[in-house]
Amino acid sequence: MLLLQQIVTSSFTLFRIACRAYRPTSAIVLVGLCWVSISAHAQEINPLAGNARAQYAGGVLFRAQCATCHGADATGIESIDAPDLTAMWRERAYSDRQVFDIIRDGIAGTIMPPHDFTETEVWMLVSFLRSVGESGVENLPVADSGLGATLFNNHCAECHRVTNAGGVLGPNLSDVLRRNSLADITASVRQPSALITSGYKAVRVNTNAGENIQGVLKNEDAFSFQIVDTNQQLRAFRKHDAVLTEQRESLMPAFAESELSEQELLAILNYIQSATGATP
Ligand code: HEC
Ligand code: HEC
Protein backbone atom coordinates (compact mmCIF):
# COMPACT_ATOMS: atom_id res chain seq x y z
CA MET A 1 0.00 0.00 0.00
CA LEU A 2 2.76 2.44 0.97
CA LEU A 3 4.77 1.46 -2.08
CA LEU A 4 1.75 2.04 -4.27
CA GLN A 5 1.29 5.46 -2.76
CA GLN A 6 4.93 6.28 -3.36
CA ILE A 7 4.64 5.23 -7.00
CA VAL A 8 1.50 7.31 -7.41
CA THR A 9 3.14 10.30 -5.73
CA SER A 10 6.35 10.11 -7.72
CA SER A 11 4.73 9.53 -11.09
CA PHE A 12 2.45 12.39 -10.22
CA THR A 13 5.45 14.62 -9.51
CA LEU A 14 6.93 13.70 -12.90
CA PHE A 15 3.61 14.52 -14.49
CA ARG A 16 3.60 17.91 -12.83
CA ILE A 17 7.12 18.60 -14.02
CA ALA A 18 5.96 17.72 -17.53
CA CYS A 19 3.03 20.08 -17.10
CA ARG A 20 5.36 22.85 -15.97
CA ALA A 21 7.64 22.31 -18.92
CA TYR A 22 4.73 23.02 -21.23
CA ARG A 23 3.74 26.20 -19.52
CA PRO A 24 5.99 28.60 -21.48
CA THR A 25 4.52 27.40 -24.79
CA SER A 26 1.13 28.72 -25.80
CA ALA A 27 -0.57 25.33 -25.40
CA ILE A 28 -3.17 26.78 -23.08
CA VAL A 29 -5.51 23.82 -23.49
CA LEU A 30 -2.83 21.38 -22.43
CA VAL A 31 -1.99 23.51 -19.38
CA GLY A 32 -5.68 23.51 -18.52
CA LEU A 33 -5.81 19.73 -18.79
CA CYS A 34 -2.77 19.34 -16.58
CA TRP A 35 -4.32 21.60 -13.95
CA VAL A 36 -7.58 19.67 -13.87
CA SER A 37 -5.82 16.36 -13.36
CA ILE A 38 -3.60 17.83 -10.61
CA SER A 39 -6.66 18.95 -8.68
CA ALA A 40 -8.34 15.60 -9.20
CA HIS A 41 -5.28 13.80 -7.80
CA ALA A 42 -4.91 15.79 -4.58
CA GLN A 43 -5.04 13.35 -1.65
CA GLU A 44 -6.90 13.78 1.62
CA ILE A 45 -4.38 11.92 3.76
CA ASN A 46 -0.69 12.77 4.07
CA PRO A 47 1.14 9.89 2.33
CA LEU A 48 4.29 10.88 4.28
CA ALA A 49 2.72 10.99 7.78
CA GLY A 50 5.18 9.98 10.52
CA ASN A 51 8.02 9.63 7.98
CA ALA A 52 11.15 10.92 9.73
CA ARG A 53 12.99 11.79 6.51
CA ALA A 54 10.01 13.75 5.19
CA GLN A 55 9.88 15.68 8.47
CA TYR A 56 13.55 16.48 8.19
CA ALA A 57 13.28 17.61 4.55
CA GLY A 58 10.18 19.63 5.41
CA GLY A 59 12.16 21.35 8.17
CA VAL A 60 14.84 22.35 5.66
CA LEU A 61 12.18 23.80 3.33
CA PHE A 62 10.51 25.54 6.24
CA ARG A 63 13.69 27.28 7.36
CA ALA A 64 14.35 28.46 3.79
CA GLN A 65 10.81 29.58 2.86
CA CYS A 66 8.73 30.20 5.96
CA ALA A 67 11.02 31.05 8.88
CA THR A 68 11.33 34.77 7.98
CA CYS A 69 7.68 35.15 8.95
CA HIS A 70 6.87 32.22 11.24
CA GLY A 71 10.25 31.99 13.06
CA ALA A 72 12.85 29.22 12.77
CA ASP A 73 11.05 27.13 15.43
CA ALA A 74 7.61 27.82 13.85
CA THR A 75 6.32 29.53 16.99
CA GLY A 76 5.41 32.70 15.09
CA ILE A 77 6.50 36.35 15.05
CA GLU A 78 4.11 38.62 16.90
CA SER A 79 5.16 41.95 15.34
CA ILE A 80 3.91 40.81 11.91
CA ASP A 81 1.00 38.72 13.22
CA ALA A 82 2.46 35.51 11.80
CA PRO A 83 0.86 32.83 13.97
CA ASP A 84 2.45 30.09 16.08
CA LEU A 85 2.23 27.04 13.82
CA THR A 86 3.01 24.63 16.67
CA ALA A 87 -0.18 25.57 18.54
CA MET A 88 -2.55 25.57 15.55
CA TRP A 89 -3.16 21.81 15.49
CA ARG A 90 -4.55 21.83 19.00
CA GLU A 91 -6.19 25.24 18.91
CA ARG A 92 -7.85 24.98 15.53
CA ALA A 93 -8.04 21.19 15.10
CA TYR A 94 -6.90 21.43 11.46
CA SER A 95 -6.65 18.29 9.37
CA ASP A 96 -3.44 17.65 7.40
CA ARG A 97 -5.39 18.42 4.23
CA GLN A 98 -6.52 21.84 5.49
CA VAL A 99 -2.94 22.83 6.30
CA PHE A 100 -1.87 21.53 2.88
CA ASP A 101 -4.41 23.87 1.22
CA ILE A 102 -3.34 26.88 3.31
CA ILE A 103 0.33 26.35 2.37
CA ARG A 104 -0.46 25.93 -1.33
CA ASP A 105 -3.13 28.64 -1.71
CA GLY A 106 -2.03 31.16 0.94
CA ILE A 107 -4.60 33.23 2.84
CA ALA A 108 -6.24 35.90 0.69
CA GLY A 109 -6.11 39.42 2.08
CA THR A 110 -3.12 38.68 4.34
CA ILE A 111 0.65 38.51 3.78
CA MET A 112 0.51 34.68 3.94
CA PRO A 113 1.51 33.98 0.29
CA PRO A 114 0.52 31.06 -1.96
CA HIS A 115 3.38 28.65 -2.75
CA ASP A 116 4.34 26.89 -5.96
CA PHE A 117 5.74 23.69 -4.39
CA THR A 118 5.27 20.16 -5.71
CA GLU A 119 2.61 18.09 -3.96
CA THR A 120 5.34 16.03 -2.25
CA GLU A 121 7.06 19.17 -0.97
CA VAL A 122 3.83 20.48 0.56
CA TRP A 123 3.26 17.13 2.32
CA MET A 124 6.85 17.30 3.63
CA LEU A 125 6.06 20.72 5.12
CA VAL A 126 2.86 19.33 6.66
CA SER A 127 4.87 16.42 8.15
CA PHE A 128 7.38 18.85 9.59
CA LEU A 129 4.64 21.03 11.09
CA ARG A 130 2.99 17.95 12.62
CA SER A 131 6.31 16.92 14.14
CA VAL A 132 6.75 20.30 15.90
CA GLY A 133 3.04 20.65 16.59
CA GLU A 134 1.53 20.56 20.05
CA SER A 135 -0.95 17.94 18.99
CA GLY A 136 0.22 15.52 21.64
CA VAL A 137 -0.45 11.84 22.27
CA GLU A 138 -4.11 10.94 22.30
CA ASN A 139 -5.18 7.78 24.16
CA LEU A 140 -1.78 6.58 25.31
CA PRO A 141 -2.01 2.76 25.56
CA VAL A 142 -1.80 1.68 29.20
CA ALA A 143 1.46 0.03 30.30
CA ASP A 144 3.34 -0.59 33.56
CA SER A 145 4.49 2.84 34.80
CA GLY A 146 6.52 1.27 37.67
CA LEU A 147 8.58 -0.64 35.11
CA GLY A 148 8.70 2.60 33.07
CA ALA A 149 10.28 4.50 36.00
CA THR A 150 13.06 1.89 36.25
CA LEU A 151 13.66 1.87 32.51
CA PHE A 152 13.71 5.68 32.41
CA ASN A 153 16.27 5.84 35.22
CA ASN A 154 18.47 3.21 33.59
CA HIS A 155 18.35 4.38 29.97
CA CYS A 156 17.18 7.99 29.71
CA ALA A 157 17.71 9.96 32.95
CA GLU A 158 21.40 10.41 32.19
CA CYS A 159 20.36 12.98 29.55
CA HIS A 160 16.68 13.80 30.17
CA ARG A 161 14.60 15.23 32.96
CA VAL A 162 11.03 14.43 33.87
CA THR A 163 9.92 17.17 36.26
CA ASN A 164 13.30 18.24 37.71
CA ALA A 165 15.46 15.15 38.19
CA GLY A 166 17.86 14.03 35.46
CA GLY A 167 20.36 15.24 32.87
CA VAL A 168 20.33 18.31 30.68
CA LEU A 169 22.05 17.16 27.49
CA GLY A 170 18.64 16.34 25.98
CA PRO A 171 15.32 18.20 26.27
CA ASN A 172 13.08 18.01 29.33
CA LEU A 173 10.55 15.27 28.54
CA SER A 174 7.87 16.43 31.01
CA ASP A 175 5.69 17.89 28.26
CA VAL A 176 6.70 15.55 25.43
CA LEU A 177 3.28 13.84 25.49
CA ARG A 178 1.58 17.18 24.96
CA ARG A 179 3.97 18.31 22.23
CA ASN A 180 4.55 15.22 20.06
CA SER A 181 2.47 12.42 18.63
CA LEU A 182 3.23 8.80 19.51
CA ALA A 183 4.63 8.24 16.00
CA ASP A 184 7.00 11.20 16.44
CA ILE A 185 8.17 10.11 19.89
CA THR A 186 8.81 6.61 18.56
CA ALA A 187 10.77 8.07 15.61
CA SER A 188 12.83 10.22 18.02
CA VAL A 189 13.77 7.12 20.01
CA ARG A 190 14.41 4.74 17.08
CA GLN A 191 16.16 7.20 14.70
CA PRO A 192 17.24 10.26 16.72
CA SER A 193 19.39 11.71 13.93
CA ALA A 194 16.51 11.93 11.45
CA LEU A 195 14.94 14.89 13.23
CA ILE A 196 17.03 16.78 15.75
CA THR A 197 15.02 18.81 18.25
CA SER A 198 15.72 22.51 17.74
CA GLY A 199 18.19 23.86 20.30
CA TYR A 200 19.97 20.46 20.55
CA LYS A 201 22.26 20.40 17.55
CA ALA A 202 25.27 18.16 18.12
CA VAL A 203 28.69 19.82 17.82
CA ARG A 204 32.34 19.00 18.27
CA VAL A 205 34.80 21.49 19.78
CA ASN A 206 38.55 21.37 19.25
CA THR A 207 40.38 23.80 21.52
CA ASN A 208 43.80 25.29 20.84
CA ALA A 209 44.88 23.60 24.06
CA GLY A 210 44.21 20.23 22.39
CA GLU A 211 40.92 19.36 24.04
CA ASN A 212 38.30 17.55 21.92
CA ILE A 213 34.76 17.86 23.29
CA GLN A 214 31.29 16.83 22.13
CA GLY A 215 28.06 18.50 23.15
CA VAL A 216 24.94 20.36 22.05
CA LEU A 217 25.14 23.98 20.91
CA LYS A 218 23.21 26.41 23.11
CA ASN A 219 24.32 29.85 21.94
CA GLU A 220 26.59 31.36 19.36
CA ASP A 221 27.58 34.91 18.41
CA ALA A 222 30.41 36.39 16.36
CA PHE A 223 33.04 35.90 19.08
CA SER A 224 31.93 33.09 21.35
CA PHE A 225 29.66 30.10 21.82
CA GLN A 226 28.27 27.94 24.62
CA ILE A 227 27.63 24.21 24.70
CA VAL A 228 26.38 21.60 27.13
CA ASP A 229 29.05 18.91 26.94
CA THR A 230 28.49 15.16 27.24
CA ASN A 231 29.32 15.42 30.96
CA GLN A 232 26.21 17.65 31.26
CA GLN A 233 28.31 20.76 31.95
CA LEU A 234 27.53 24.15 30.41
CA ARG A 235 30.77 25.48 28.93
CA ALA A 236 31.65 28.73 27.14
CA PHE A 237 34.41 29.24 24.56
CA ARG A 238 35.87 32.16 22.66
CA LYS A 239 36.09 31.50 18.92
CA HIS A 240 39.66 32.70 19.16
CA ASP A 241 40.47 29.66 21.31
CA ALA A 242 38.42 26.85 19.79
CA VAL A 243 37.02 25.51 16.52
CA LEU A 244 33.34 24.56 16.41
CA THR A 245 32.12 21.86 13.97
CA GLU A 246 28.49 20.85 13.55
CA GLN A 247 27.71 17.12 13.52
CA ARG A 248 24.96 15.38 11.61
CA GLU A 249 24.41 12.64 14.16
CA SER A 250 22.33 13.27 17.27
CA LEU A 251 24.02 12.77 20.64
CA MET A 252 21.10 10.55 21.58
CA PRO A 253 21.83 6.84 20.97
CA ALA A 254 19.29 5.08 18.74
CA PHE A 255 17.25 2.46 20.65
CA ALA A 256 16.36 -0.48 18.41
CA GLU A 257 13.37 -2.66 19.33
CA SER A 258 15.78 -5.37 20.50
CA GLU A 259 17.12 -2.95 23.16
CA LEU A 260 13.85 -1.25 24.07
CA SER A 261 10.65 -2.95 22.96
CA GLU A 262 7.49 -1.09 21.95
CA GLN A 263 5.92 -2.20 25.25
CA GLU A 264 8.90 -0.89 27.25
CA LEU A 265 8.74 2.46 25.46
CA LEU A 266 5.02 2.66 26.31
CA ALA A 267 5.92 1.88 29.94
CA ILE A 268 8.33 4.85 29.96
CA LEU A 269 5.64 7.11 28.50
CA ASN A 270 3.13 5.91 31.11
CA TYR A 271 5.70 6.78 33.77
CA ILE A 272 6.14 10.28 32.28
CA GLN A 273 2.38 10.71 32.23
CA SER A 274 1.96 9.71 35.87
CA ALA A 275 5.02 11.66 37.10
CA THR A 276 3.86 14.90 35.47
CA GLY A 277 0.13 14.42 35.99
CA ALA A 278 -0.18 14.96 32.25
CA THR A 279 -3.61 14.46 30.78
CA PRO A 280 -2.73 14.57 27.10
C1 HEC B 1 5.45 36.92 4.25
C2 HEC B 1 5.22 36.23 5.48
C3 HEC B 1 4.81 34.77 5.45
C4 HEC B 1 5.46 33.75 4.82
C5 HEC B 1 6.71 33.79 3.95
C6 HEC B 1 4.74 32.54 5.17
N7 HEC B 1 3.68 32.84 5.98
FE8 HEC B 1 2.29 31.52 6.69
N9 HEC B 1 1.22 33.06 7.49
C10 HEC B 1 1.62 34.38 7.51
C11 HEC B 1 0.60 35.17 8.18
C12 HEC B 1 0.66 36.66 8.46
C13 HEC B 1 -0.43 34.27 8.54
C14 HEC B 1 -1.75 34.63 9.25
C15 HEC B 1 -2.73 35.09 8.22
C16 HEC B 1 -4.07 35.44 8.87
O17 HEC B 1 -4.19 36.54 9.37
O18 HEC B 1 -4.93 34.54 8.88
C19 HEC B 1 0.00 32.96 8.09
C20 HEC B 1 -0.74 31.79 8.29
C21 HEC B 1 -0.27 30.51 8.04
C22 HEC B 1 -0.96 29.29 8.38
C23 HEC B 1 -2.32 29.18 9.09
C24 HEC B 1 -2.06 29.25 10.58
C25 HEC B 1 -3.31 29.29 11.44
O26 HEC B 1 -3.15 29.28 12.66
O27 HEC B 1 -4.43 29.34 10.91
C28 HEC B 1 -0.15 28.26 8.00
C29 HEC B 1 -0.42 26.76 8.15
C30 HEC B 1 1.04 28.84 7.41
N31 HEC B 1 0.94 30.21 7.45
C32 HEC B 1 2.12 28.11 6.93
C33 HEC B 1 3.18 28.66 6.22
C34 HEC B 1 4.23 27.89 5.59
C35 HEC B 1 4.39 26.37 5.68
C36 HEC B 1 5.05 28.78 4.96
C37 HEC B 1 6.26 28.48 4.09
C38 HEC B 1 6.06 27.60 2.99
C39 HEC B 1 4.53 30.11 5.22
N40 HEC B 1 3.40 29.99 6.00
C41 HEC B 1 5.11 31.28 4.76
C42 HEC B 1 2.79 34.89 6.97
C43 HEC B 1 3.69 34.21 6.17
C1 HEC C 1 23.26 10.23 25.84
C2 HEC C 1 22.15 11.11 25.99
C3 HEC C 1 20.74 10.62 25.73
C4 HEC C 1 20.12 9.46 26.18
C5 HEC C 1 20.74 8.35 27.02
C6 HEC C 1 18.74 9.53 25.72
N7 HEC C 1 18.55 10.67 25.02
FE8 HEC C 1 16.78 11.26 24.16
N9 HEC C 1 17.73 12.91 23.40
C10 HEC C 1 19.03 13.28 23.63
C11 HEC C 1 19.34 14.49 22.90
C12 HEC C 1 20.69 15.22 22.87
C13 HEC C 1 18.16 14.85 22.23
C14 HEC C 1 17.96 16.08 21.32
C15 HEC C 1 18.52 15.80 19.95
C16 HEC C 1 17.62 14.94 19.13
O17 HEC C 1 16.47 15.35 18.86
O18 HEC C 1 18.04 13.85 18.72
C19 HEC C 1 17.16 13.83 22.57
C20 HEC C 1 15.83 13.84 22.12
C21 HEC C 1 14.85 12.97 22.54
C22 HEC C 1 13.45 13.06 22.19
C23 HEC C 1 12.82 14.15 21.33
C24 HEC C 1 12.31 15.19 22.30
C25 HEC C 1 11.60 16.36 21.71
O26 HEC C 1 11.29 17.29 22.48
O27 HEC C 1 11.36 16.40 20.49
C28 HEC C 1 12.80 12.03 22.81
C29 HEC C 1 11.31 11.69 22.75
C30 HEC C 1 13.80 11.29 23.54
N31 HEC C 1 15.03 11.89 23.35
C32 HEC C 1 13.52 10.18 24.33
C33 HEC C 1 14.47 9.43 24.97
C34 HEC C 1 14.19 8.23 25.73
C35 HEC C 1 12.79 7.65 25.93
C36 HEC C 1 15.38 7.76 26.18
C37 HEC C 1 15.63 6.52 26.98
C38 HEC C 1 15.07 5.29 26.46
C39 HEC C 1 16.42 8.68 25.74
N40 HEC C 1 15.84 9.68 25.01
C41 HEC C 1 17.79 8.54 26.01
C42 HEC C 1 19.95 12.59 24.40
C43 HEC C 1 19.73 11.36 25.00
Give phi and psi for 166, each to the nearest 5.
Answer: 125, 180
Residue 164's pLDDT is 77
Instruction: Tell me the three state secondary structure of residue 181.
Output: coil
- 103 and 171 fall within a common domain: no
Residue 150 lies in a domain: yes
Question: Which H or E run contains 224?
Answer: strand 224-229
Residue 278's pLDDT is 52
- 192 and 110 fall within a common domain: no
Total tally of structural domains belonging to the chain? 4
- 121 and 215 fall within a common domain: no
Q: What is the pTM of this model?
A: 0.61
In short, whether 156's Cβ falls inside 6 Å of ligand 2 is yes
Rounded to the nearest angstrom, the distance between the alpha carbon of 107 and the centre of ligand 2 is: 36
135, 160, 191: which to mutate for ligand 2, most atoms within 8 A of CB? 160
Residue 39 lies in a domain: no
Residue 87's pLDDT is 81
The DSSP annotation for 237-257 comes to EETTTEEEEE-SS-SSPP--T
Beta bridge mates, 236:
226
Residue 30's pLDDT is 40
List, for the chain, all residue ranges whose pLDDT scores fall below the cut of 50.
1-41, 280
Rounded to the nearest angstrom, the distance between the alpha carbon of 188 and the centre of ligand 2 is: 7
Question: Among all ligands shown, which has an atom nearest to the Cα of 71?
Answer: 1
- 270 and 154 fall within a common domain: yes
**CB contact at 8 A, 213 and 242:** no
Which one-letter amino acid corresponds to residue 252? M
In sequence order, the 6+-apart residues with CB closer than 8 A to the CB of 164 are none
In total, the chain counts a number of residues equal to 280
Q: What is the position in ligand 1's atom list of the atom closest to the CA of 99?
A: 29
**CB contact at 8 A, 158 and 113:** no
Question: Among all ligands shown, which has an atom nearest to the Cα of 58?
Answer: 1
Q: How far apart are the first and last CA of the chain?
A: 31
In short, whether 76's Cβ falls inside 6 Å of ligand 1 is no
Question: Among all ligands shown, which has an atom nearest to the Cα of 79?
Answer: 1
Rounded to the nearest angstrom, the distance between the alpha carbon of 124 and the centre of ligand 2 is: 23
Rounded to the nearest angstrom, the distance between the alpha carbon of 43 and the centre of ligand 2 is: 33
Half-sphere exposure of 185 (CA within 13 A, CB side): 23
Note down the domain range covering 57. 46-135
Rounded to the nearest angstrom, the gap between the alpha carbon of residue 271 and the centroid of all alpha carbons in its chain is 24
Q: What is the DSSP letter of 231?
A: T
Among 109, 135, 161, the domain-final residue is 135
Which one-letter amino acid corresponds to residue 116? D
Rounded to the nearest angstrom, the distance between the alpha carbon of 63 and the centre of ligand 2 is: 23
Q: What is the position in ligand 1's atom list of the atom closest to the CA of 81?
A: 12
218, 252, 269: which to mutate for ligand 2, most atoms within 8 A of CB? 252
**CB contact at 8 A, 85 and 76:** yes
- 265 and 188 fall within a common domain: yes
Q: What is the position in ligand 2's atom list of the atom closest to the CA of 193?
A: 18
Residue 37 lies in a domain: no
CA distance 184 to 19: 35
- 103 and 61 fall within a common domain: yes
Residue 178's pLDDT is 78
- 192 and 206 fall within a common domain: no
Write the CATH number for 94.
Answer: 1.10.760.10
